[in-house]
C-alpha cells in the first residue's frame, strides 16, 4: 500500500481526486493542463459511462484508478463481496477505457486485511493519502483547503482532493502555493 512516495531528488507531491467522474471534470482537466500538472483520479465506476471525458483524462497523462463501484464501505462486506465489488469496478473501467486498471483506493479510506488481500489478488496497488484536504467539509471556506494542505506539505506526500466545486475554485491557487514551496508534481509509480 502506498501513502507517500519519494520519486526523485527534487521535492514532489501527488495530487489525487476521488469520487468522480463528475460534471466538473472538464473544468478540472482544464486547470491541470493550464498548470502542466498530472494527477491521479479514483473513480466510482458506476459514474463512468462512455460520454464522460475519460479519453481526455488519459490523453493528458493523468492516471485512472478504481474507487469501487458505488463507494460502499468495503469493510462491512465479506472478502468475496469486496473482491467482487473491486473486480466489477475494474472490469467496468477497463471495458469503457480499454486501459488496464492498476491502482485502487478504498472508499472512505476504510480497509481491512480482506480489502488489501482482494486488491492484491486483482493485481492492484492500493493508494491511500498523506494529506486529506478536508475539501468535502470546506464549501463555505475553500481558502482553508489551501492553508491546510500547504501547512502539511512534505516530500512524497499524496494529497486527497475531490471533484467538488470548492476544490476547483481554489485549485489554481493551490497549485501555485505548492510550487512556491519548491514542490513539483508526480504520479505514483507502479514499481512502488
Our count of domains for the chain comes to: 1
Higher pLDDT, 172 or 189: 172
Q: Is the pLDDT of residue 191 over 90?
A: no
**Strands 131-132, 63-66: pairing kind:** unpaired
In a domain, 1, yes or no: no
Secondary structure class of 59 (helix, strand, coil):
helix
In a domain, 147, yes or no: yes
The CATH number of the domain where 169 resides is what?
3.20.20.370
In a domain, 68, yes or no: yes
Give the ranges where the chain is alpha helix by DSSP (H).
25-34, 54-59, 79-97, 113-121, 143-151, 165-180
State the residue range of the domain holding 123: 12-185
Task: List all residues 6 or more positions away from 102 whose beta carbon is below 8 Å from its beta carbon.
Answer: 65, 123, 124, 125, 190
Are 20 and 71 spatial neighbours (Cβ–Cβ below 8 Å)?
Answer: no
Q: Percent of the chain at pLDDT above 70?
A: 95
In a domain, 191, yes or no: no
Are 185 and 38 spatial neighbours (Cβ–Cβ below 8 Å)?
Answer: yes
Give the lowest-confidence range in 32-36, 40-44, 47-51, 172-176. 47-51
Q: How many residues does the chain have?
A: 192
List the beta bridge partners of residue 30. Answer: none
In a domain, 56, yes or no: yes
How does the average pLDDT of the chain come out, rounded? 93
- The model's pLDDT over 45-78, given as tens digits with 9 standing for 90+, comes to 999 988 888 999 999 999 999 999 999 999 999 9
In a domain, 7, yes or no: no
In a domain, 92, yes or no: yes
In a domain, 151, yes or no: yes
The cell for 45 is 465506476
| Total-model pTM | 0.92
Amino acid at each position: 500500500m502506498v501513502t507517500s512516495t519519494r520519486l526523485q531528488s527534487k521535492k514532489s507531491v501527488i495530487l489525487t481526486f476521488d469520487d468522480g467522474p463528475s460534471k466538473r471534470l472538464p473544468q478540472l482537466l482544464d486547470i491541470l493542463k493550464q498548470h502542466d500538472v498530472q494527477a491521479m483520479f479514483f473513480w466510482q465506476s458506476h459514474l463512468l459511462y462512455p460520454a464522460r471525458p475519460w479519453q481526455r483524462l488519459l490523453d493528458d497523462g493523468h492516471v485512472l484508478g478504481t474507487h469501487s463501484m458505488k463507494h460502499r464501505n468495503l469493510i462491512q462486506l465479506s472478502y468475496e463481496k469486496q473482491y467482487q465489488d473491486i473486480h466489477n469496478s475494474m472490469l467496468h473501467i477497463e471495458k469503457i477505457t480499454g486501459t488496464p486498471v492498476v491502482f485502487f483506493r478504498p472508499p472512505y479510506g476504510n480497509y481491512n486485511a480482506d480489502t488489501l488481500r482482494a486488491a492484491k489478488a486483482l493485481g492492484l496497488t492500493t493508494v491511500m493519502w498523506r494529506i486529506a484536504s478536508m475539501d468535502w467539509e470546506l464549501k463555505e471556506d475553500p481558502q482553508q483547503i489551501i492553508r491546510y494542505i500547504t501547512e502539511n506539505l512534505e516530500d512524497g506526500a499524496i494529497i486527497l482532493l475531490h471533484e467538488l466545486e470548492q476544490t476547483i475554485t481554489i485549485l489554481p491557487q493551490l497549485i501555485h502555493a505548492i510550487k512556491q514551496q519548491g514542490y513539483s508534481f508526480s504520479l505514483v509509480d507502479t514499481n512502488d
